[in-house]
Chain A
Amino acid sequence: MAAIFQGIGATTALSSINSLDSKRFRLSSHRLLSGGKGSFFVVRSDGRSKPGPNPRGRRPEQLITNAVATKADSSAASTTSKPGHELLLFEALREGLEEEMDRDPCVCVIGEDVGHYGGSYKVTKGLATKYGDLRVLDTPIAENSFTGMAIGAAMTGLRPIVEGMNMGFLLLAFNQISNNCGMLHYTSGGQFKIPVVIRGPGGVGRQLGAEHSQRLESYFQSIPGIQMVACSTPYNAKGLMKAAIRSENPVILFEHVLLYNLKERIPDEDYVLNLEEAEMVRPGEHITILTYSRMRYHVMQAAKTLVNKGYDPEVIDIRSLKPFDLYTIGNSVKKTHRVLIVEECMRTGGIGASLTAAISENFHDYLDAPIVCLSSQDVPTPYAGTLEDWTVVQPAQIVAAVQQLCQ
């Protein structure tokens, strides 16, 4: 599976700071985040070089940097830079995690089988040997309580990362995630912050059955006070993991069971991505396709077909599920005037539903056609392979929807 995805444009190679092509990118300012070892840069996926009414370059200095685009197209621009290194997505997550644990001794991991077993998807492999059993804590099977324990630890100064062995298990921790994780900072009048990261694999896998195939982003999205991000490539997995750990807010990082073995070459330099930004995957002119996590790959597969048929889709991986990056999304809508949302959540109450509402509210005047949202069926994911395929959105449906919208 990794082979299929390598050529799609999901790879990115970042040049080092010195070799930036200034014609292609717009570098406004960059700022070193305090406390970092050595220099690194915060990368924003501001791939569009079209100046908008409020170009980001004019923002005041004290705000977070508006730096380089991650990539403009699939051709790598890094011939003169450091080679980077290739790894799989779960290794990228581990690398990000390890770097942050090295950097700050208060960062710890709490979850089932994260220690000696190395994590059910091997994201924490080797960490317990390196950092000890207390820093990579194997918990009993008590999601609600160990999530609450992580929250109490965060309130008293630690920075725990809670791993749900499968995101679905975190339904048991809903009490703690909603009441304490999300709301406690506000309810305490700002006295206690909860810098936890809650992460785990979710989404529809390969015939895992209904309960192991859940998309919790739709259930959690209403909780005030949390941020949600979804990673989809090794590059953004590592960057988002690091950003989530460094964030003072509680962040839920959604990984996907089927994406752990994606391979990509990522930079050797330290980098942290921006939690609130979307990622431009493929610029285009005809239609804006918004997606995240695994559906990004179905979209890119459909994009190949669409390009052959003469369409030019713009594909954006929204990455930040809560809050939405309305700037990137809005700019795209203003350019293409057509929106297709492709998501894995169920039809009712999913991320797509919220995104549809947000776009309607904010960019209604720019739309030439109704927003189309392709979601999974409102069906508990069946075990049978054929049925399972029919519950999620497939590339053929995406192609058909684009053709329909672009008539």
Chain B
Amino acid sequence: MSCAFATIQSLPLTPENHSINPLKTSSPFLGFTRHLRLNPLDNNKSPSASIRRRQSSVVAVSDVVKEKKLKSNSSLSNLLITKEEGLELYEDMVLGRTFEDMCAQMYYRGRMFGFVHLYNGQEAVSTGFIKLLRKEDCVVSTYRDHVHALSKGVPARQVMSELFGKTTGCCRGQGGSMHMFSKEFNVLGGFAFIGEGIPVATGAAFTSKYRREVLKEADSDHVTLAFFGDGTCNNGQFFECLNMAALWKLPIVFVVENNLWAIGMSHLRATSDPEIWKKGPAFGMPGVHVDGMDVLKVREVAVEAVARARRGDGPTLVECETYRFRGHSLADPDELRDPAEKAHYATRDPIAALKNYMIENKLVNEAELKAIDKKIDEVIEDSVEFADASPLPPRSQLLENVFADPKGFGIGPDGRYRCEDPKFTEGTAHV
């Protein structure tokens, strides 16, 4: 993987290249994908083992499992997941992938507008983390938020409707692709400016701590996850929030979805030290780097990070090395990325990896997975039909929701509050 960073513009990525690169630039980065230790800088994983792992074309099994397997062969109890968990993870990732593919179709057919940013290829991060959460835990994302919302439980119908701009969308059609919110499932957005969601996530974590310590709600241990990309990690709000979260030991996990590209800006061209996980310890929290194309590895790290936050031990910075198969948005021609790089990551498709893992370890058979594929196809078809059939927002919706208390529109010349004007509820009042 360090090769990718060093040679991204020139060399195609092959296993041979991996061995060419001197270890001194690669080992701390690549080997550091595991348990959160008290001393986050401690990396005693031997470099050679990590290189062996990198050369494997299907990166589905973590070192922990490998080690366990060495001890006792192919015992189901040594696997990282049970069958049920595996199916849940698979289904969630397929849901994300199929949904995003349908979005692309709908966009090019003129049903969806504006800026739409698709998540293809990054499903392991969303699934790996969010499937561990409870309903009361909060998720904050960026504009690439459809799959985070879906993983958290927002029905596909509501998300698709929102994308079509219909009134049955999760935000009544008022948010759109970049602003997925759900009070029921505690999805706190959906933000268009990068970095601006991180303070909001920090605030949600602050509330959790406040409830426990000031309001004395002993069972308040909600955790917040903040998802954002590599470009955001050069933004001031990122650093300011790392500081505050560590300072007050807030129950938050900062999840960096490092897909190496911020539109057309390569992470290496934008960042003085591209190893983002290192920025955690600088603020006093563990920094972990994990292979974000492998849902089991992500999940393993996530379990620890979330548990750490829930215990009250404070935040964690998790850098997930991942990749987006499509362009930055549906308007992005995606000309700058090296096709060889894309091909390399296509071989690391998280869904294929999980599928192979489960089949090789005899957790499931092909038919069961195919059944899930079919089920998800139907869910997505249904969501499109629902969105198509849903009404567009009426005029009366225009002025609602600007204020939680509509008295905020003030007092009109006639002495009445503007919101009492019948034209207000019709949406035709001029405020």
Chain A residues engaging chain B, CB cutoff 8 angstroms = 52-56, 59, 63-64, 105-106, 108, 132, 134-135, 139-140, 142, 144-158, 175-176, 179-180, 184-195, 224-225, 227, 247-249, 275-277, 320, 322-328, 330, 362-363
Contact = CB atoms under 8 A, between A and B. Distances in A.
5 contacts: A134-B213, A153-B207, A187-B179, A189-B175, A192-B183
Interface in B185-238: 188-193, 196, 198-211, 213-215, 236-237
A175 to B, nearest CB: 6
B200 A327 contact: no
Given A188-B179, A190-B172, A155 B206 contact: no
B335 interface: no
A191 B415 contact: no
B206 A145 contact: no
Contacts of A142: 236, 240, 243-244
A53 B413 CA distance: 11
A330 B411 CA distance: 11
Contacts of A184: 189
Interface stretch (B16-24, B30-38, B266-274, B398-406): B398-406
Interface stretch (B50-58, B382-390, B416-424): B416-424
B417 A144 contact: no
Contacts of A186: 174, 401-402
Given A148-B196, A277-B411, A326-B413, 5 more contacts: A56-B415, A148-B198, A156-B208, A175-B193, A326-B412
A148 B199 contact: yes
A132 B237 CA distance: 26
Contacts, number: 205
Given A276-B411, A327-B414, A188 B243 contact: no
A154 B204 CA distance: 8
A176 B196 contact: yes
Interface of A is mostly: loop
B204 A320 contact: no
Contacts of B193: 175, 179
Contacts of A330: 413
A136 to B, nearest CB: 11
Nearest to A150: B203
Residue of B170, B206, B400 ringed by the most chain A CB atoms within 10 A: B206
A144 B236 contact: yes
Nearest to B181: A188
B408 A189 contact: no
A320 B214 CA distance: 33
B405 A248 contact: yes
Contacts of A53: 414
Given A145-B199, A152-B203, A54 B416 contact: yes
A185 B404 contact: yes
Nearest to A182: B402
Contact of B188 (A155, A158, A179): A155
Which 4 pairs show the lowest CB-CB distances between chains A and B?
A: A152-B203, A148-B199, A323-B410, A189-B172
Contact of B200 (A139, A180, A248): A180
Interface in B110-163: 138, 140
A334 to B, nearest CB: 9
A323 B236 CA distance: 33
A325 B411 contact: yes
Residue of A54, A152, A324 ringed by the most chain B CB atoms within 10 A: A152
A145 B237 contact: yes
B207 A249 contact: no
A190 B400 contact: yes
B247 interface: yes
Contacts of A188: 171, 174-175, 179, 181, 183, 189-190
Residue of A64, A155, A192, A224 ringed by the most chain B CB atoms within 10 A: A155
Contact of B415 (A150, A179, A192, A327): A327
Interface band, chain B = 35 or more
B207 A152 contact: yes
Nearest to B180: A188
A59 B417 CA distance: 10
A328 B415 CA distance: 8
B395 interface: no
B168 to A, nearest CB: 10
A194 B203 CA distance: 12
A249 B405 contact: yes
Contact of B214 (A64, A132, A185, A276): A132
B181 to A, nearest CB: 4
Given A140-B247, A225-B402, A145 B240 contact: yes
A324 to B, nearest CB: 6
A73 to B, nearest CB: 23
A176 B189 CA distance: 14
A151 B231 CA distance: 23
B401 A190 contact: yes
A365 to B, nearest CB: 12
B203 A249 contact: no
Contacts of B420: 63
A377 to B, nearest CB: 29
A157 B179 contact: no
Contacts of A224: 402
Given A186-B401, A191-B182, A248-B405, A105 B214 contact: yes
Contact of A156 (B203, B214, B416, B431): B203
B209 A134 contact: yes
A69 to B, nearest CB: 15
Contact of A153 (B175, B206, B431): B206
Given A145-B241, A277-B411, A179 B404 contact: no
Contacts of B213: 134
B240 A187 contact: no
Contacts of A322: 410
A124 B173 CA distance: 41
B215 A187 contact: no
A16 to B, nearest CB: 27
Nearest to B245: A149
Contacts of B407: 64, 275-276
A223 to B, nearest CB: 11
Contacts of A153: 203-204, 206-207, 210
Nearest to A139: B244
Interface in B305-346: none
Contacts of B209: 134
Contacts of B108: none
A156 B117 CA distance: 27
A147 B243 CA distance: 15
A184 B403 CA distance: 10
Interface string B369-387: 0000000000000000000
B412 A158 contact: no
A179 B191 contact: yes
